[in-house]
């Protein structure tokens, strides 16, 4: 029996739990149909999470899930310009009209890009530094110093896939208006995979330490707040700490979802709107990371 997983009309990190619940509910089905026909807007987090879901469904069922292309022509064109379909056709059976587009969108900081190996991380960072540094500074008013750290944060976020996921993933970087709590433009880095997740990665070294508390939430806490790594080398486990420092300087926000939990470090502009830790969420494989940097942020020390 097939199961239908609805893609929310506005698919961003806020709507992800709705999508993850549908994903989890489709567990026993022989095949899944991921229905995006009514999707009107999608964030980079939505794009990369959708691909992670497609990857997981393909592994779960041994064949690609069906993905219906957004019915709205403009929305479908946007998805095409973001490079989504280029990668989606490898893991989904696409139903609907996929628009043909020439090249990418020059205003996009980084189209949906696969991350499988260290070389991919190099290419992603180089692309951001050379193609997008000017957009980050001139259009978004980011301090030039912030764009250097931006590359570092992007690199470390992508390397988490290469080093820990046990499989490939995707990254996308866009700028858009964050009306909900900020009322201005933001730059968003989204990275997602459908790999083993933080709990599995850290369990051999951290499970006993946490005892009964051990779970997806504890694993996220260990990784993000305590800088713990699965490696015994004390030089490891510093990537997320570096990202936190960078975001702290520029009033940015990080959130990580893995398994059944989500952790976030909240800047002042988002306090009261979001929670630091959410547990007992619908299970979703791998790890999904979002970094948000507000436009025009002034450095804080």
Partner 1 sequence: MITQIDVRSVLARLGSDQRDLVTRPTGRAVRSSIEEELAVLAEAAGYAVVVLDFTDVRLMDLSCADEIVAKLLQAWVGPAAPGRVCFLVRGLDDHQIEDVEHVLQRQQLALVAESGGVLRLIGEVADPWRIAFERLAERGRAAAEELAADLAWPLDDVRSALDQLALRSLVLEESGQYLPPCAA
Instruction: Name the site residues for partner 1 (rule: CB under 8 A).
Output: 118, 121-122, 125-126, 129, 145, 148-149, 151-152, 155-156, 159, 162-163, 227, 234-236, 238-239, 241-242, 245-246, 249
Do residues 230 and 195 make contact, with C-beta atoms less than 8 angstroms apart? no
Q: Tokens for 182?
A: 């900020």
Do residues 46 and 11 make contact, with C-beta atoms less than 8 angstroms apart? yes
CA distances from 111 to 25, 97, 125, 164, 176 (A): 30, 20, 12, 23, 14
Query: Minimal distance in Å, beta carbon 187 to partner 1?
Result: 16
Task: Kindly tell me which of 9 and 117 has the beta carbon lying closer to partner 1.
Answer: 117
Query: Minimal distance in Å, beta carbon 226 to partner 1?
Result: 12
Task: Kindly tell me which of 99 and 242 has the beta carbon lying closer to partner 1.
Answer: 242
Residue with tokens 């990580």: 256
Query: Minimal distance in Å, beta carbon 231 to partner 1?
Result: 10
Q: Tokens for 225?
A: 């707040």
Task: Kindly tell me which of 63 and 245 has the beta carbon lying closer to partner 1.
Answer: 245
Task: Kindly tell me which of 114 and 149 has the beta carbon lying closer to partner 1.
Answer: 149
Do residues 108 and 127 make contact, with C-beta atoms less than 8 angstroms apart? no
Query: Minimal distance in Å, beta carbon 257 to partner 1?
Result: 22
Q: CA angle at residue 164 from 159 to 169, to 5 degrees?
A: 65
Do residues 169 and 45 make contact, with C-beta atoms less than 8 angstroms apart? no
Q: How many residues belong to the chain? A: 301
DSSP secondary structure string, 15-64?
Answer: THHHHHHHHHHTTT-SEEEEE-TT--EE-HHHHHHHHHHHHHHHHHHSSP
Burial 207-243 (b: 16+ CB within 10 A, else e): eeebeeebbbbbbbbbbbeebbbbeeeeeebebbeeb
Task: Kindly tell me which of 73 and 145 has the beta carbon lying closer to partner 1.
Answer: 145
Query: Minimal distance in Å, beta carbon 137 to partner 1?
Result: 14
Query: Minimal distance in Å, beta carbon 130 to partner 1?
Result: 9
Task: Kindly tell me which of 234 and 272 has the beta carbon lying closer to partner 1.
Answer: 234
Query: Minimal distance in Å, beta carbon 265 to partner 1?
Result: 16
Query: Minimal distance in Å, beta carbon 101 to partner 1?
Result: 28
Strands (E) across the chain are located at 2-6, 10-11, 31-35, 41-42, 65-68, 92-95, 110-115, 169-178, 184-193, 253-259, 261-265, 277-278, 284-294
Task: Kindly tell me which of 129 and 167 has the beta carbon lying closer to partner 1.
Answer: 129
Task: Kindly tell me which of 46 and 151 has the beta carbon lying closer to partner 1.
Answer: 151
């Amino acid at each position: 029996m097939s199961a239908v997983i609805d893609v929310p009309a506005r698919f961003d990190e806020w709507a992800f739990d709705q999508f993850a619940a549908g994903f989890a509910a489709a567990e026993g089905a022989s095949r899944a149909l991921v229905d995006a026909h009514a999707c009107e807007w999608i964030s980079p987090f939505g794009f990369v999470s959708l691909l992670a879901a497609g990857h997981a469904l393909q592994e779960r069922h041994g064949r690609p899930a069906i993905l219906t292309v957004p019915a709205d022509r403009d929305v479908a064109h946007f998805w095409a310009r973001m490079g989504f379909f280029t990668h989606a056709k490898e893991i989904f059976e696409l139903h609907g009209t996929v628009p043909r587009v020439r090249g990418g969108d020059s205003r996009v900081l980084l189209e949906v890009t696969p991350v499988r190996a260290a070389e991919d991380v190099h290419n992603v960072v180089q692309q951001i530094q050379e193609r997008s540094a000017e957009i980050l500074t001139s259009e978004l008013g980011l301090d030039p110093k912030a764009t250097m750290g931006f590359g570092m944060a992007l690199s470390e976020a992508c390397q988490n896939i290469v080093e820990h996921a046990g499989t490939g993933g995707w990254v996308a970087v866009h700028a858009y208006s964050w009306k909900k709590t900020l009322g201005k433009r933001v730059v968003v880095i989204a990275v997602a995979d459908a790999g083993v997740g933080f709990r599995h990665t850290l369990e051999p070294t951290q499970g006993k330490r946490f005892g009964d508390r051990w779970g997806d939430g504890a694993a996220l806490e260990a990784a993000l707040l305590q800088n713990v790594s699965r490696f015994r080398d004390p030089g490891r486990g510093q990537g997320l700490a570096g990202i936190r420092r960078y975001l702290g300087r520029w009033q940015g926000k990080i959130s990580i979802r893995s398994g059944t939990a989500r952790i976030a470090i909240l800047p002042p502009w988002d306090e009261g709107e979001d929670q630091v830790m959410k547990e007992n969420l619908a299970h979703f494989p791998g790890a999904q990371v979002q970094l948000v940097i507000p436009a025009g942020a002034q450095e804080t020390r």
